[in-house]
Structure 1
Amino acid sequence: MVGGLLAPNVPWQALVSLRGDLVRGGGVLISDRWVLTSGRNLMGNFSNATEKELPRVYVGITELRHANHSAEVPVEQVIMHPRFQNSSEWENDLALIKLGEKVSLGQNVMPICLPLKEYVEKGREGHVAGFGMGAYFEYSKHLKYLMLAVADHTQCHDYYNSSAHLLRNVPVLNENMFCTEVTRFSENTCWGDAGAAFAVQDPQDGAWYLAGILSFDKSCSVETYSVFMKLSSYLPWIYHVLGNY
């Protein structure tokens, strides 16, 4: 994450690690047994990776040094979205991680609510947190967060489909995705933030709801937009998995 503020506590935040903690990404606790993340996180976040790998999952931490055995939760199963990378590398970029045991819930560990309505609309701000890389391309030692605003979908689509991006590995936007804009201080998500929640606090009930999962985290200081999977498009699949596995 380029810029951002230190996060005192994000109870739904999970850290997802692969390859001996060399590759890291975010995840979101959606129940006491399930973590939702980016499918690409579980492919090692490399475009030519073809084998899934059981990740390490850590919950309840705000400092990277606390990603140790005491914060680790065993993983039982990984379920990729059945149409992951169906027609493009960034399509349906979601995976569910079933934990080997229920996590103990409390102030520092608590699932986020799944949405009951659509929260993705232009200009709406959401909370995005992660341990991703900063301006010097090193993982952050402390969990950080940004408040990012939903961008105009057409402008984001045209931006990534412009001739300047023809030879670059960028998303091809569809109706199941949405974008957020870089802040006025040039802050944005970066490598290692994928899988993070776009969390929105409902003004009526005060609860936090999961509106999206960060997919394209390569914006850093280079691109204008981060790209998320729109959660409302995937609720049937999520509920199906939670009810049948």
Structure 2
Amino acid sequence: MIFDFSNLDTKLLIAIIAPISACIGYSYRARTESKKKQKRALYLMLEVWHRLSVNYKKDFRPEFIYLFKKIENKIPDLKLSEDDINIMYDTFEPVLLEKMKGISQEDLEDYQNKFKEAIILTSEDNPILAYEISHSVLISKISDDVNSMFSKFLGNNTSQEENERKLRRLVESIFDVKAIESLEDDVKKVARSISIFDFIRVKNKIKKRKNFLLNSHKADPEIERLASSFLDGVKMLSEDSNKKHKAEAEI
């Protein structure tokens, strides 16, 4: 039997439909607002991850070779031995690593605030997920505590300065990568909570960024500028090397 709505009083029909429409409208608005918050949180976390991801870069030899060829083109008479090249690379590498670390820590407080905002936005709709991703902050804190411990333990003993630098660099490298990987997993979790399509897009973006940092042999503009600032030093090293070889030949 088909119910005949025409027999219902118009006011009664409105009284039935209005609450249903209001519930549907409220549910739609709430869902839309929730998606906006989740996407805002995802954007903030991606921005933080992108900044920290430069710490994936540990090997600068391909970039160094690329830059050295450019320097050779600028100085046709450049004659450097293998030892000279290795000395140059040993000089370049710590500076480049420090530069990359400096880039990752620029406006650090601002990025920490963005990460906290992302957690707050996520917690409004998914408090459990917000709790899970908040552990990334702990990794940074542990890294700071370890650095503080080294400083107190080693004190000002100059004989241990080189060992301290090596040990600190090793620990920072481990914690940097752990923090990035942890944040990377958190970004994927937030993306997955929005939709499978957002998860796939984020996963591909992260993969592309990592491949660029780890496998690209093209020098970054920052490294290009560093190379040009070292150019005068290279010229001096070249001149000293040529003088040395000339003196040995005369003997």
Relative to total residues, which structure has the larger helix share, 1 or 2? Answer: 2
Judge same fold: TM > 0.5, yes or no.
no
- TM-score range (shorter-chain normalised) is under 0.3
